[in-house]
Structure 1
Amino acid sequence: MKVVKFGGSSVASAEQYKKVAEIILADKERKAVIVSAPGKRFDGDQKTTDLLIELAESINNGKTDQAVMAKVLDRYNEIISELHLDSSLIQTIKGRLEELISLYKEDEERLLDALKSSGEDNNAKVMTAYLLSLGHQASYISPKEAGVIVTDEPGNAQILPEAYERIAELRNREGILVIPGFFGYSYQGNIVTFPRGGSDITGSIIAAGLNAVEYENFTDVDSVYCVSPKMVKNPRELKEITYREMRELAYSGFSVFHDEALQPVFQKGIPVRVKNTNRPEAEGTRIVLKRELKGQTVIGIASDNDFCSLNITKYLMNRELGFGRRLLTILEDEGISYEHTPSGIDNMSIILRSHQLVNGKEERVLQRIKEELDVDDINIERKLAMIMVVGEGMKEAVGVAAKAAQALAESRSNIKMINQGSSEVSMMFGVDEESVTRAVNCLYNAYFPSTEKAIH
């Protein structure tokens, strides 16, 4: 059995639906199908999920925006009409939206989760109807029926361990099973969404629960690239990559996967294949536990912006017992998570996502550090970008860091931070945001010279 997930661009229109159906029916092992909400049909179009968020915000402000509601219904109606499906489907969708609004209109967080999840939920119903219209056995399976039991924190659902036993029971079902992505149900009976990009998480959870032979993730690119095509022209495609490499790259800005999405299949050792809905014949990229390194030390380069560095100096810091613990306790008290903590004997830097220092948190954190830790100096450096150089082969190679330093020097990038984990799967460099594109291009040219053959 294979689990196959289709992203928003793959189910954005009736034309895309037809491609999806052909892909599903081309392989009898594709039994469990996970769908996202309809995505953008063209540049400048709105994703259905964004429309649903807009709808929820209008209700929270005291008045349902009927124009936005109409746009949501028009997206589904267009697909239903062009696929010649029963027109009563749109009334079912409208009725469900009105029911959710009625149920949750007094609770902002629950309303947002309920309406966001309806994008995937309604799309799964339409996909089921389409497969049935083609004469194939198919069933819509809600996450509750599937056994996707999650924690009860709105917008941040986490799968519960016992869910996998319930999901495994789906193996006894006949026909194609169509399951909406992005959300589950808590024991309290609430609809709870995974973080944004959560349909990938659903697909991974279902694949793990069913012990699938492969989890296929269809999107709008032929494969995973070794660097973002938005930053480097015509980058090299990757035919195979490990879970650990993909995790590092996803954390650092790769948009192919949400960085939590691979955990369930990683734990089960289930291979993942990324493929293109518009070119299903392309081989795609396979994500596996282990791969042959074949002399390639670095497999990918990723970057992300919006970091800042909290820089702290105190003479004899290294001799002060509990300094680091007390510093991190201050961040914990404010609900701030940190990314990295490079340090010296008298100084320490805390790398944070900038968006966390809002609503007075920055002022409180700085004041508490000054007063409670009696530091000599403290300052914040803003507009930092983090660049991750990733590859399982790095731990067995000499000169990888030297090559990176030379490339960054050629890009005229001032290195603000260097960090390498004990696993030696990645190296991280902090640079100014304004130089990140130059830096990534120089690193790409250093590790992927144009004369080198494609990675297999």
Structure 2
Amino acid sequence: MKVVKFGGSSLANSVQVSKVVKIIQADDQRRFVIVSAPGKRFKGDIKVTDLLIQYAKATMNNTPTETITGQIIARYEEIATAFKVPQTAFEKIKTTILSLPQQDYQDDGYLMAAFKAHGEKLNAMLFAEVLKTAGVNAKYLDPKDVGLKLTDSPNDAEIIPSSYEQINQWADSKLVRVIPGFFGYNDQGQICTFSRGGSDITGAIIARGVHAKRYENFTDVDAIYAADPHIIHHPIAIHNMTFREMRELSYAGFSVFHDEALIPAIQGNIQVVVKNTNHPSERGTSITSHKRVNPAYPVSGIASSPGFCGIYIRKYMLDKKRFSQKILNLLAKYDLSYEHMPSGIDDLTVIMRQDQLTPELEDRLIRELVIALQPDEIHISHNYALLMVVGEGMADRTGIMSKATDALARQNVKLTMVNQGASEISMMFGIKQDEAQAAIKALYDTFFPDL
């Protein structure tokens, strides 16, 4: 039995939905279908989720919503009309959209979560009806009924582990069950969502809960590639990779698959396959616990993520006086997370995502660090990128770091940080953001010559 998830681009309009119907019909083992909200139909289009966010903000601000609701309804209506979905079924979807402002919400955070979640919820309701019109024995299954309980965080929730026992009760279902991604419910019955992109997480949770043999994640690319196709012309496809490789690369900017979604799959040891809705016969990328390494290509992928900053702190005897603990306490005080903290004897740098900091918070944090640490020098640098080189074949191999740094040096890419994990399957470099593309090209040409 398989769990399949379809992203927003796969369900953007009736043409795309017809492809999804054929994929479901082609394999009777695809019995649990997780859907995202309708995505962009063309460049410059607006995702339904973004329209729902506008709708939520207008509701909170008591401003008119007729134009926004009209746009949302039209997106679902185009699909319903194309597949001749019964009018009574579509009217339920329309009524739900219009009644969202009248529901009871604990606060504006829960209101926003509920509005956003309805992109997936309504699409799942609609797609179940579409499958019925195509002769598939399908039924909508709400996360509340499936037993998907989440922690009480409206827009960044996590699964409560006991949910898996509840989900397992549906494992023997003979129907095709259509389940909305992205959200579940807290103990009070309020909708809570995963972080954005969380339909991938729902798919992996359901796959683990029903002990699926395989979790297929359908998107709009033929495979996961060794580098960003927007930077490298026709990069090599990665047909087999490990969970560890995918986690490292997702962290560093691979946007095909939500990195947190791998956790339930890893825990359930479930094969994950990324495939293209538009070319379903293509091989795609299989992600498993282990793989056979090709010695000629120790590196599997190269990725870069922009938008980091570094707080540099220098003080004599820094390593002797528990300054790291004081820094971490201040970060916790302002609910700030950090990515890395490379250090020397008398200095260290705190690297974090800079979108966490407003100018006001940045000034306050620096002032408090000065008071707490009395440093000899402190300053913050913006617009870093983190560059990752990842591959199971890198373990126990000598010379990989040398090849990487030589390639970057030839392009005059300055390294502000170097870090290699204990697993030996990844190397991380801190570089200037505007040098990231040149760095990726240099590394790709070094590790994937003549490809």
Distance 1:272 1:176 in 2: 20
Q: Which residue does 1:138 correspond to in 2?
A: 138
**C-alpha displacement of 1:93:** 1.2
User: Alpha-carbon deviations, 1:86-142, whole Å to 9, x = none?
Assistant: 123332112112332111478321111111111111111111111111222111000
Matched, 1:297 2:298: yes
Distance 1:332 1:171 in 2: 41
Distance 2:289 2:24 in 1: 26
Distance 2:172 2:317 in 1: 65
Matched, 1:285 2:315: no
Q: Which residue does 1:107 correspond to in 2?
A: 107
Q: Which residue does 2:35 correspond to in 1?
A: 35
Alignment map for 1:47-446 (pairs within 5 Å): 47-104=47-104, 107-295=107-295, 296-320=297-321, 322-358=322-358, 360-446=360-446
Determine if contact 2:311/2:381 at 8 Å carries over to the other structure: yes
Q: Which amino acid aligns with 1:303?
A: S
**Residues 335-344 or 364-373, more deviating:** 364-373
Determine if contact 1:73/1:90 at 8 Å carries over to the other structure: no
- Secondary structure at 1:308 match in 2: strand
Any unmatched runs of 5+ in structure 1? 452-456
**C-alpha displacement of 1:406:** 1.0
Q: How many residues align structurally?
A: 450
**C-alpha displacement of 1:224:** 0.4
**C-alpha displacement of 1:383:** 0.8
Q: Which residue does 1:6 correspond to in 2?
A: 6
Determine if contact 2:83/2:133 at 8 Å carries over to the other structure: no
User: Alpha-carbon deviations, 1:306-362, whole Å to 9, x = none?
Assistant: 100000000121222x22111111111111100001110000000010011216221
Determine if contact 2:151/2:160 at 8 Å carries over to the other structure: yes
- Secondary structure at 1:171 match in 2: coil
Distance 2:107 2:59 in 1: 10
User: Alpha-carbon deviations, 1:43-67, whole Å to 9, x = none?
Assistant: 1111110111111111111124210
- Secondary structure at 2:407 match in 1: helix
Q: Which amino acid aligns with 1:249?
A: L
Q: Which amino acid aligns with 2:231?
A: M
User: Alpha-carbon deviations, 1:143-198, whole Å to 9, x = none?
Assistant: 00111110111101100010000000111322101000000011110001110000
Matched, 1:17 2:17: yes
Q: Which amino acid aligns with 2:310?
A: S
Q: TM-score, normalised by structure 1?
A: 0.97
Q: Which residue does 1:454 correspond to in 2?
A: none
Q: Which amino acid aligns with 2:416?
A: K
**C-alpha displacement of 1:34:** 0.3
Q: Which amino acid aligns with 2:300?
A: I
Distance 1:270 1:396 in 2: 27
State the identity %: 44
Q: Which amino acid aligns with 1:300?
A: G
**Residues 102-111 or 79-88, more deviating:** 102-111
Distance 1:359 1:268 in 2: 43
Determine if contact 1:104/1:110 at 8 Å carries over to the other structure: no
**Residues 356-365 or 399-408, more deviating:** 356-365
Determine if contact 1:297/1:392 at 8 Å carries over to the other structure: yes
Q: Which amino acid aligns with 1:310?
A: I
- Secondary structure at 2:388 match in 1: strand
- Secondary structure at 2:260 match in 1: coil
- Secondary structure at 1:230 match in 2: coil
Distance 2:346 2:279 in 1: 55
Distance 2:203 2:279 in 1: 21
Distance 2:337 2:234 in 1: 36
Any unmatched runs of 5+ in structure 2? none
Cα RMSD of the aligned pairs, angstroms, is: 1.2
**Residues 83-92 or 414-423, more deviating:** 83-92
Distance 1:395 1:192 in 2: 40
Q: Which amino acid aligns with 1:374?
A: Q
